[in-house]
Structure formats: C-alpha cells, structure tokens
Amino acid sequence: MKTVSITTKIAGVKLDACIFNTSGPADATLGELEIIARSQSPAITMKSCTLAPREGNPEPRYADLEYGSINSMGLPNLGYKAYIKFAARLKRKYKKPTVASICGMTLAENVTMFKAFNNSAVDIIEFNPGSPNTIGKPIVGYDAGEMDRLLDAVSKVSKKPYGVKLPPYFDLVHFDQIAAVIKKYPVKFVTCINSIGNGLVINPYTEQPLIKPKGGLGGISGKYIKYTTLANVRRFYELFEDKIQVIGVGGVYSGIDAFELILCGASAVQVGTAFLQNGPGIFERIQNELKDFMAVKGYKKIADFRGKLKTL
C-alpha cells in the first residue's frame, strides 16, 4: 500500500497529491484559506477575485441539496490585492503551492490583475472568465469569440503559468470550438467543470425558490453533475491530446469518483461541494480512498491509468 503514489504536476508545479480544493467554497478569507492550508489539500486555491472587493448577491444565495448544492454567490471576494497578500503569507507559513483565481468583470480588469499577480507568491493562475452568477453578465465560456479576445489579452501579459476554468459544454461542436481557441494560446490546463449554470430549485411547501438572486436561478454542483464532468474531462483530454492538461472538478465525493475522472484523463481533481458539506478532512479521505482503490487495481501511480478509459 505504501508504494502507491498519487503525486502529480500541474503547469510544471509539483503537487504532493492529486486531490485539492476548487476555487469557490470557503476560500475567500485568510481564516478560511488557513483551514485549507492545514488540511491535506496539497495546494491552496483561492476564491475568484475581482479588481474591487464585492459583497456578492443578496442572501440566501447558497443551499445544500440532497445530492449537491445550488449557489448564486455573485463573487463575494476581498479584491485581488488581498489575495496577493494572502498568497505571500500562506506560502511563507505553509510552503504549499497557491492557486489564484482571476475573474475580472472586463478585459481591462483581467489584464490589470494578471499583471499584478506576476509579482506575487502565487504559483499558478486559474483564469475564470465567467461566473454564472454575476447578474447581467453572460457566461463568457459560451462565447468563443469573447474567449479568444480575453485569452489573447491575458496571454500577452501573464508571466505565471495559467489555465482556464470552463463552464460545462453539452454540444460536441462547442468542445471543438473552445478547444480550437484555447490551443492558440499558452494555456497550461483547463479546469472542467464550473457549476451547471442556472438551475432552479424550489420548495413546494413554501412555493418559493431556495435562493434569492436571479429569481432563484443558480449554479448546480455536486453529485448531480458528475457525469457532465466526466464527459467534459474526457472530451478535452482527447481534443488536447494531453498537450494541455485537464483538471477535473464536479461531483467528486469519493476516491472512486476521483479515479473515474483520472481514468478519463484528468491530471488532478478538485473538490468543491463535498468540501463544504464534509469539512477539510475530505481531502485526506478522498486521497486515501483513491490510494486504496489503486492498490486493489495494482496501480502504483496515476500515470498507470490516467486517460486509459477502455472502449466497449
């Protein structure tokens, strides 16, 4: 059992394990980030940031569901300058790689933040070009032309290795279009998938939605979305021919969930709703379950099975 290794490398940065926290849940304040730092998460991913601090959408804006969650947080964050400071502090104290998530409201905001993070302790940037929950703003990942314009601009200024967090795609032609845009730029990885945008959960007894913003519409996460995650990871893994890495996120609650994403091609797996619902012990649990399952299968490292989904 001791011989099983689940280390990985993302964008050239070594991670002691391939399971870490995703941007979004419980990662907006220094206190929350220190909880992640002290957990078995091998990296510390921070909340998507904007130029100015934001309060986010009116509450209630998050609800646990039987098999996952719905949220329309609206990007509550302390502004990018806070995360530059937090990254330096966390790096000094915990010596773990940090991942910044940049989610500017405009092209100019994104460029400003990418430039600022060049001179930071952050190891990796995850560009999140479109929150599904910003009122009045479309999800950029569904607009290939806009993605092209943004990636062109940030690629020109970024000195840190960066990847792109993508919304879920459902039509095969959209995978091709987005992959073609991403291949034009020095993108090191894609993170698939963001929540499935604009679901609606209602309470039939009160006859109300569960969350307040956008008439109740919000991003669906957790077990409901795992099969969409698997498909997105698989399709991008095939389209990028392993030249651009894929990080899988969406519906991972167990080591076997993580195994499935890696089998489809993921080089690492992030955990979101399951972390919120189970606390920071989830990283160690999923890592141990993954190692146990690999041992049963006779795999010693993730390269032994990564991407090797068999055909029927």
CA distance 281 to 38: 10
**245 binds ligand DHB, rule: CB under 6 A:** no
CA distance 41 to 59: 29
Query: For ligand DHB, which is the closer residue by CB, 45 or 194?
Result: 194
Q: Which of 22, 39, 195, 228 binds ligand DHB (CB under 6 A)?
A: 195
| Secondary structure in 3-state letters for the chain | CCCCCCCEEECCEEECCCEEECCCCCCCCHHHHHHHHHCCCCCEEEEEECCCCECCCCCCCEEEECCEEEECCCCCECCHHHHHHHHHHHHHHHCCCEEEEECCCCHHHHHHHHHHHHCCCCCEEEECCCCCCCCCCCCHHHCHHHHHHHHHHHHHHCCCCEEEEECCCCCHHHHHHHHHHHCCCCCCEEEECCCEEEEECEECCCCEECCCHHHHEEEEEEHHHHHHHHHHHHHHHHHHCCCCEEEEECCCCCHHHHHHHHHCCCCEEEECHHHHHHCCCHHHHHHHHHHHHHHHHCCCCHHHCCCCCCCC
Q: Which of 21, 133, 191, 232 binds ligand DHB (CB under 6 A)?
A: 133
**Sequence-separated (6 or more) residues with CB below 8 Å from residue 231:** none
Q: For the CB of residue 106, give the shortest distance to ligand DHB in the complex, in Å.
A: 15
Q: For the CB of residue 112, give the shortest distance to ligand DHB in the complex, in Å.
A: 18
**75 binds ligand DHB, rule: CB under 6 A:** yes
**103 binds ligand DHB, rule: CB under 6 A:** yes
Report the alpha-carbon angle 122-39-89, nearest 5.
Answer: 35
Question: With contacts defined by CB under 6 A, how many residues of the chain interact with ligand DHB?
Answer: 15
Query: For ligand DHB, which is the closer residue by CB, 141 or 307?
Result: 141
Query: For ligand DHB, which is the closer residue by CB, 4 or 75?
Result: 75
**42 binds ligand DHB, rule: CB under 6 A:** no
**74 binds ligand DHB, rule: CB under 6 A:** yes
**132 binds ligand DHB, rule: CB under 6 A:** yes
Question: In this chain, which stretch among 70-78, 86-94, 203-211, 274-282 interacts with ligand DHB, using CB under 6 A?
Answer: 70-78
Site for ligand DHB in 216-235 (CB under 6 A): 219
Q: For the CB of residue 213, give the shortest distance to ligand DHB in the complex, in Å.
A: 9
**147 binds ligand DHB, rule: CB under 6 A:** no
List the structure tokens of 36: 């992640």
Question: In this chain, which stretch among 12-20, 73-81, 199-207, 270-278 interacts with ligand DHB, using CB under 6 A?
Answer: 73-81
Q: Which of 194, 229, 245, 270 binds ligand DHB (CB under 6 A)?
A: 194
**25 binds ligand DHB, rule: CB under 6 A:** no
Query: For ligand DHB, which is the closer residue by CB, 42 or 219?
Result: 219
The torsion angles phi and psi of 69, rounded to 5 degrees, stand at: -160, 165
Query: For ligand DHB, which is the closer residue by CB, 26 or 295?
Result: 26
Question: In this chain, which stretch among 66-74, 154-162, 180-188, 204-212 interacts with ligand DHB, using CB under 6 A?
Answer: 66-74
Which parts of this chain interact with ligand DHB (CB under 6 A)?
24, 48, 71-75, 103, 128, 131-133, 194-195, 219
